[in-house]
């Protein structure tokens, strides 16, 4: 059975379905996990380090190779009275090659030194990856925190609008005073000012997040507290994890590079060699009318490391000092990481207790007190300032509670960074 719909209606319906499907895709909320993947994929910092690492790897291979041989072309013993090549028996046209061989195993240790520097950049890439993840998580958290604050303030604002109506109604019945209405309106205006501050926090957090995932994706983030970051590992496990942190891996690669530098400096006490082979073409005849034979020459030039006091010795001492500096830098960074881990873990434990206290006791008690005060106020058994303070206190306790969640999640993000995730 053929369709009776006109063609233009079919096209319109198809086009509408396509647009509807695209809008559905665009409206799909972006999760934190997807945002992290997106930030890693789009990070120019990581792409730059990746190119630098490849550059250093290729440079290490190039540094470990022999220099190109040199071609020797020339003439020798050409008579100046005729400038001919067959007049004198020692006149030659020379062709040869010369090759330079560095001292000892210089090329091997030069390659190892440069290769270790490539490892340094590779670990800097891993460190930057952790930094990107950390900044995305913190920006996401700050945006979710600001959004939760706004939700709480807007809910409290509706309560104060109701309080304005209640105070106006009681004023009409001579059960309240004009100052009660003014106080309610003042608290309402104060909430508007708090909203302005929270909106500013949201704009800043959204700009920070957009730096890594783009404005459109930042505006489409699926925000909620707490974040889904997984459970925290025991402190002893985390202490073992920091030993594999990229910060320490960078210093370990620098130590390896410094050790290769020491070996490289030791090679300078050994002689270097230049080898050349030259073939000399001769023209003309000998006294017995025979052709003059060609000449071949070989030469060995040796570098003699005799001025070692202010050259090789100084270079070796500099390399030893570089190794000592790198080892001390690793100790410093390990102590810093260990101290930061202990401090952050202790903060996380206390913040977890504070969050539990707010959720289980303080927030329910503040709500209960505000509701009880409202009931008493309706019966004209308390004044409006007491009622206003009760609801302001409820707002403050809720905001403090959500701040406790934010601080706990901040510590969790820092622990993930220290864990290397």
Read off the pLDDT band of 23 (50, 70, 90). very low
Tell me, what's the pLDDT at 7? 54
Neighbours of 154 (CB within 10 A): 12
Could you report the per-residue pLDDT of 243-302, keeping only the tens digit for each?
999 999 999 999 999 999 999 999 999 999 999 999 988 888 877 888 888 889 999 999
What percent of the chain is predicted at pLDDT more than 90?
Answer: 57
Read off the pLDDT band of 328 (50, 70, 90). very high
- Name the more confident of 4 and 158: 158
Read off the pLDDT band of 175 (50, 70, 90). low
Joined tokens for residue 245: 């942190």
Strand order in the sheet with 70-76: 70-76, 92-101, 273-281, 295-302
CB–CB of 409/141 below 8 Å? yes
Neighbours of 34 (CB within 10 A): 15
| Overall pTM surpassing 0.75 (yes/no) | yes
Joined tokens for residue 157: 């604002």
CB–CB of 76/96 below 8 Å? no
The CATH homologous superfamily to which domain 32-61+130-266+332-419 belongs is Outer membrane efflux proteins (OEP) (1.20.1600.10)
Tell me, what's the pLDDT at 405? 92
Selection from 199, 135, 186 nearest residue 413 by Cα: 135
pLDDT at 308 over 80: no
Mean pLDDT on 129-135: 95
Tell me, what's the pLDDT at 179? 78
Q: Can you give the residue ranges of every domain in the chain?
A: 32-61+130-266+332-419
- Residue 108, judged by CB atoms within 10 A of its CB (0-12, 13-18, 19+), counts as middle
Tell me, what's the pLDDT at 26? 46
Could you report the per-residue pLDDT of 220-235, keeping only the tens digit for each?
888 888 888 888 889 8
Selection from 80, 93, 94, 88 nearest residue 286 by Cα: 88
Tell me, what's the pLDDT at 288? 80
Could you report the per-residue pLDDT of 133-174, keeping only the tens digit for each?
999 999 999 999 999 999 999 998 888 888 777 777 776 776
Determine the 3-state secondary structure of 5 from DSSP: coil
* Rounded-to-integer distance, Cα 170 and Cα 164, Å: 10
* Rounded-to-integer distance, Cα 154 and Cα 157, Å: 5
């Amino acid at each position: 059975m053929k369709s009776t719909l006109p063609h233009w209606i079919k096209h319109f319906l198809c086009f509408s379905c396509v647009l509807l499907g695209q809008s559905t895709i665009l409206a799909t909320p972006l999760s934190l996990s997807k945002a992290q993947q997106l930030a890693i994929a789009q990070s120019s910092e990581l792409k730059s380090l990746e190119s630098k690492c490849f550059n250093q790897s290729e440079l290490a291979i190039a540094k470990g190779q022999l220099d190109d041989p040199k071609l020797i072309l020339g003439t020798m013993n050409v008579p100046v009275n005729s400038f001919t090549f067959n007049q004198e028996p020692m006149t030659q046209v020379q062709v040869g090659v010369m090759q330079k061989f560095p001292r000892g195993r210089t090329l091997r240790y030069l390659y190892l030194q440069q290769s270790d520097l490539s490892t340094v950049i590779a670990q800097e890439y891993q460190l930057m990856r952790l930094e990107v993840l950390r900044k995305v998580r913190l920006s996401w958290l700050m945006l979710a925190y600001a959004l939760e604050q706004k939700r709480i303030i807007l809910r409290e604002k509706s309560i104060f609008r109701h309080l304005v109506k209640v105070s106006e109604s009681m004023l009409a019945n001579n059960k309240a005073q004009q100052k009660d209405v003014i106080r309610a309106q003042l608290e309402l205006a104060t909430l508007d000012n708090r909203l302005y501050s929270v909106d500013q926090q949201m704009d800043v957090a959204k700009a920070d997040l957009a730096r890594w995932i783009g404005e459109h994706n930042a505006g489409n983030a699926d925000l909620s507290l707490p974040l889904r970051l997984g459970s925290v590992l025991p402190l002893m496990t985390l202490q073992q994890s920091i030993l594999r942190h990229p910060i320490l891996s960078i210093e370990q690669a620098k130590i390896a590079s410094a050790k290769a530098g020491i070996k490289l400096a030791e090679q300078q006490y050994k002689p270097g060699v230049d080898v050349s082979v030259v073939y000399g073409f001769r023209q003309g005849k000998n006294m017995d009318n025979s052709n003059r034979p060609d000449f071949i020459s070989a030469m060995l030039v040796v570098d003699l490391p005799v001025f070692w006091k202010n050259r090789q010795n100084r270079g070796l001492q500099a390399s030893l000092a570089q190794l000592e500096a790198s080892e001390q830098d690793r100790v410093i960074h390990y102590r810093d990481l260990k101290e930061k881990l202990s401090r952050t873990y202790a903060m996380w434990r206390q913040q977890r207790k504070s969050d539990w206290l707010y959720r289980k006791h303080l927030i329910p008690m503040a709500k209960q007190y505000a509701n009880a005060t409202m009931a008493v106020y309706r019966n004209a058994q308390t004044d409006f300032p007491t009622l206003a303070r009760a609801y302001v206190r409820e707002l403050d306790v809720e905001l403090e509670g959500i701040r406790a969640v934010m601080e706990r999640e901040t510590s969790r993000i820092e622990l993930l960074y220290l864990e290397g995730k």
